[in-house]
Every structure is written in structure tokens, then in C-alpha cells.
Amino acid sequence: MDDRVWIFDTTLRDGEQSPGVSLNTQEKLDIARQLQKLGVDIIEAGFPIASQGDFEAVKNIAKSVKGVTIAGLARASVKDIDRAWEAVKYADQARIHTFIATSDIHLRHKLKMSREQVLEAAVAAVKIARQYTADVEFSAEDAFRSEPEFLCRVIEAAINAGATTVNIPDTVGYATPFEFGGFIRDIREKVSNIDKAIVSVHCHNDLGLAVANSLAAVANGAQQVECTVNGIGERAGNASLEEVVMALYTRHPFFGRHTGIRKEEIYRTSRMVSNLTGMKIQPNKAIVGKNAFAHESGIHQDGVLKERTTYEIMNPEMIGLNIKNIVLGKHSGRHAIKDRLVELGYHLSVEEIEKAFFKFKELADKKREIKDEDLAAIVENEVLTVPETYVLDYLHISSGTSVIPTATLRLTGEGEILEEAACGDGPVDAIYKAIDKITGITCTLQLYNLHAVTGGKDALGEVTVKILPNSGNKKTFLGRGVSTDVLEASAKAYLNAVNKVVFSQKEGMELTEPPKDGV
């Protein structure tokens, strides 16, 4: 068997189904471009029938991200498959990924279909998809809880109908590694035409076993792993891409399999996904957590100083972390910033570089040393973002133990100078009320998060907010802002989210109802 493991990234589809995550078209495109740089084989860009926004995002990605297969998800229905094709057809290599559940639980309670009807629907769906493209993936949703003989019949029929990849999901994260490895081995032995298709696995993390189950499947012949960056996804998430990839790499002598991932892009991809989704990475997360390469105990530090491999099975450079960490300061010129940005993996337009340089200079006036993390925070929060309809021009706060917190703000918006003042329960509340008054967009603040980008008293504070506009279709918007002043960062974060609301209204991206039995 070929020793290649294909990496199918579903960050933009299953990952985007994480509670509270909602990315706009531009953010999805930025992530897709980065996934292409990372070297994933297939990008599942979305579920085109789910909403107009999803459709547009998949279509955009298919049109602009080249050199990688772009997949669109579709239930086993003509309407879904037609819509998926309409979106992915612009891709260099387009894949339709169609699915239907095969477990009795799903058949009885969700689909209200018999096994024979499901089998027929699966075959019909694959045949319809094959009329559009030669690259068709079929997934048997909830495969692990399906009756094995029936599952094998469905897989065999799907391959006969033209499926080129068959995916075996553990949809509810119920499997354990020994079982799941055996499950894949049995399928490979019992399905007579299995060598005509790629065998894929898709594991959820409800018991914290998604990566272990995926690896057990690979050890038993799976050729494709479906995963997400940082393991984000429905409920407890999906198998984490960086963990699967680094396990296969670090334990190559054991697995004897390889991927096409450019490992040095892992850290940057992880940061980008965390920033754009607002899903923070736990410090002890394997591979990309803040502590993943930190040695705290004296014995460990001593060992690593003497010989790194005493306590390190991987090193941070492998995943692109801190390759140089050059410190920049207020005397650094445009050229140095541009070079550093390229080294960090940002390929910006001339205008974006100018903006990044301007923001860098602003920061350098307040902060002596600017590290890679600061530069990345500037670019991701202030440069690669939606057009700024409203920009913060001036902010004055009056607050203390015996005064009513009051904020006076001046924004520029649509060529006008706009000013307002408001009182609030605290300075941040006062700022947000003043912004609401100016923009006329009233919102409920669902999340407010503040963290320091680097250490030190002059550290850059990064604020993340999630807002729900009081009128609209219950879609939430994430905003981020950075500054050495946390109140300014708070104002910028809120404005960033409001600008996204305005952008989405302008783009006509109001979502349609999601499908009732969406996955």
C-alpha cells in the first residue's frame, strides 16, 4: 500500500460548526489560503446548501484557492448535490462529499427510513454526484454505531456507484482506539471492492480519543484522515490536524506513513484559526499550546540545556515557532518590517504593508520592544480585517471609585466625524454604549476576553468580543482589538465587530435557515 496519508481538512465545515464560531467570507478565504500553504490535500470549504453565506464562501474559495482539492458537503439529495456542485465547480480539483446516516438510531429517529431506502439513497446520491465530477466522497454518518454488515453493504454499493473515497465517521466520538482500528481492518477485509476507493476516517472527540482513533485507523490501513486545525468542531471537536500530522511524523518508524503537510506552517495556521474563530488554545494543548515546548522543572531544564532530546521529542522550530524572534523597535524601518512579515508568512499587498507599518510605528511609540507575536497581532487584528466603516479617532474616559463611568468618543465613519458620550456600569460598558449611539447598531455583548500578547508591563493587550446585534437573524460577530491601553483595545474590538455587522449587511450576507437535520 502507498505510504501516503491524505489530509482532509474540515476546519471550515465541521470546525465552523463549533458552538459560537461564525466566520465571514473573507475570514474563510484567509484560512483556506493558509491551509493551502500548509499543504493539506483537501479543503472542505463548507456546506453550500446550509446558507447563502456558506455557498458564497465555498464558491469564493473554489475560485481563488488553487493547487488543492476543494470539497463541498451535501446530504444525499439532488438539491444538496446540485448546490454543492454549483459552489465547488470553479476549483482546480472539485470534490462532492455526500453523506447519509447508516446507524439504526439515526434511521429510526432522524431519517425515518429503512435500511434498504438508505442504501438506495446512498447509491443514487453517489451516481448524481458522479455526473458532475470524478472525485466523489461518500460518508456513512454514524458509521461506528452502524450494524457492521449493513455498513459494509452500503460502502460496497457506494463504491460500485462511483465513490472514489469512502469515509467512516465516528460521528459521536464513541469509539476507542483498539475497537476503531479493528473496525477499519474488518471493513477493509469484508468489502470486496475496497481497493477501488480511498478509505477515510473522521473522528469526533467526545471521549478525547479522536486523534488516537484516527491513528489506530491509519495503523489498520486508513488512507485519509479528516481533521481540523486546533481540533475545533462540533461539541468536543474533531481530530486535531497538528496532532495527527506530528504523531505520524515523530513516530514515522512505527507508522511508516507520511503526509504532505509543511510542518513549519503549523503554528501560524493554528494562531490564525484561533484568532479568527475566537477559540483560544488551552496552554497545555499538544503541539500548539503555549506550554507545549516549555520546560518548567529544574531537572528538565538542566537536561534540555545539556542535550535537547533528553526531554524533547519535537522542537518548536519544526512547527514554525520562534524561528528567529527578532526584536524590532521604533527605529526599525519599513524594509525590516516587510521582511519580517514575509518571514512570518504574511504576504501582504502594498497597501496592507503600509497599514501594518503605520500601526507598527504607533505601537513602537508606546512599547520599547516589538516581538513577532506583537507584529502578528497587529496584522491579524488591524490589517487583515473587514473594511473599516468606523474608525476610532479619540477616546476619553472618566472613571474611578466615586464617579459615574463616562466615555466620550469620536469616530470617523463614511467621511464624517461622529461624536457621542455615554455613561455605563463601568468604563467598557460606557464605551460600548457610546459606540451604539453613534452607529445606531445596538448589540448584546456575549463575550469579553482580555489577554496580554506578550509579557511585561508594556505588553500589548488583546481584547476579543462577541456581539449579537439586537435586530437581525441571531448571527453573532467576533471582534478583536489590540493596544497597550486596554480600554482602547476594548473600543477597537467592539468597533471591529460592528464593522463586521455593517460589512455583512452590505454584502447581503444575511443567512438563510440552516437545514433542519444539518450535521
Q: Which residues bind ligand KIV (CB under 6 A)?
A: 14, 99, 139, 141, 167, 169, 171, 202, 204, 519
Smallest distance from Zn ion to CB 518, Å: 11
Comparing every residue's Cβ against Zn ion, the nearest one is 14
* Residue 2: CB minimum distance to ligand KIV, A: 23
Rounded to a whole number of angstroms, the minimum distance from the CB of residue 258 to ligand KIV is 24
The least distance separating ligand KIV from the CB of residue 152, rounded to whole angstroms, comes to 17
Residue 201 or 386: which CB sits closer to ligand KIV?
201
| Cβ atoms within 10 Å, residue 131 | 11
Question: To the nearest whole angstrom, how small is the minimum distance from the Cβ of residue 80 to ligand KIV?
Answer: 11
- Residue 14 vs 135, nearer CB to Zn ion: 14
Q: Minimum CB separation from ligand KIV for residue 14, in Å? A: 5
The binder of 466, among Zn ion, ligand KIV, none, by C-beta within 5 to 8 A per type, is none
For ligand KIV, the closer CB: 226 or 380: 226
Quickly list H helices, 89-176: 104-106, 115-132, 148-161
Nearer to Zn ion, 199 or 438 (CB): 199
Residue 11 binds: one of Zn ion, ligand KIV, none (C-beta under 5 to 8 A by kind): none
Q: Which does residue 374 touch among ligand KIV, Zn ion, none (CB within 5 to 8 A, set by kind)?
A: none
84 versus 422: smaller Cβ distance to Zn ion: 84
At a CB cut-off of 8 Å and minimum separation 6, what does 473 contact? 510, 511
Selection from ligand KIV, Zn ion, none that 24 binds (CB < 5 to 8 A by kind) is: none
Q: How far is the CB of 475 from ligand KIV (least distance, A)?
A: 22
Q: Is 506 exposed, middle or buried (0-12, 13-18, 19+ CB in 10 A)?
A: exposed
Q: Which residue has the cell 514575509?
A: 342
Nearer to ligand KIV, 139 or 484 (CB): 139
Grid cell locating 456? 511585561
Residue placing its CB nearer to Zn ion in the complex, 47 or 390: 47
C-alpha cell recorded at residue 389: 466603516
Q: Is 141 in the site for Zn ion (CB under 5 A)?
A: no
Q: Which is nearer to ligand KIV, 186 or 206 (CB)?
A: 206
Q: How far is the CB of 305 from ligand KIV (least distance, A)?
A: 45
Ramachandran region, residue 100 (left: φ > 0; alpha: ψ -120 to 50; beta: rest): beta
Buried b (16+ CB within 10 A) or exposed e, 445-459: eeebeeeebeeeeeb
- Name which of Zn ion, ligand KIV, none residue 141 binds, using a CB cut-off of 5 to 8 Å depending on partner kind: ligand KIV
Smallest distance from the beta carbon of 202 to Zn ion, in angstroms? 6
Tracing cell 465587530 back to the chain, one arrives at 497
Residue 81 near residue 126, CB atoms below 8 Å = no
Measured CA to CA, the distance from residue 197 to residue 152 in angstroms comes to 13
Cell numbers standing for residue 361: 510605528
Q: Closer to ligand KIV at the Cβ: 59 or 75?
A: 75
What would the grid cell of residue 284 be?
497545555
Least distance between ligand KIV and beta carbon 32 (Å): 18
Written as nine digits, the cell of 186 is 474488518
**Are residues 469 and 446 in contact, defined by beta-carbon separation less than 8 angstroms?**
no
Backbone angles phi, psi at 318, to 5 degrees: -55, -35
- Asked whether 261 and 7 are in contact (CB, 8 A), the reply is yes
102 contacts which partner out of ligand KIV, Zn ion, none, CB within 5 to 8 A by kind?
none
Q: Decide which of ligand KIV, Zn ion, none touches 139; Cβ closer than 5 to 8 Å per partner kind.
A: ligand KIV
Query: What's the closest the beta carbon of residue 224 comes to ligand KIV, in angstroms?
Result: 12
Three-state secondary structure of 170-233: ECCCCCCHHHHHHHHHHHHHHCCCHHHCEEEEEEECCCCCHHHHHHHHHHCCCCEEEEEHHHCC
Residue 27 contacts residue 60 (beta carbons within 8 Å) = no
Among residues 40 and 489, whose Cβ is nearest to ligand KIV? 40
List binders of Zn ion among 1-60 (CB under 5 A).
14
User: Largest alpha-carbon pair distance within the chain?
Assistant: 79
Measured from the CB atom, the residue of 101 and 453 that comes closer to ligand KIV is 101
Q: Which residues of 308-345 are buried (b: 16+ CB within 10 A; e: fewer)?
A: eeeeeeeeeebbbbeeeeeebeeebeeeebbebbeebb
Return residues touching Zn ion (CB under 5 A). 14
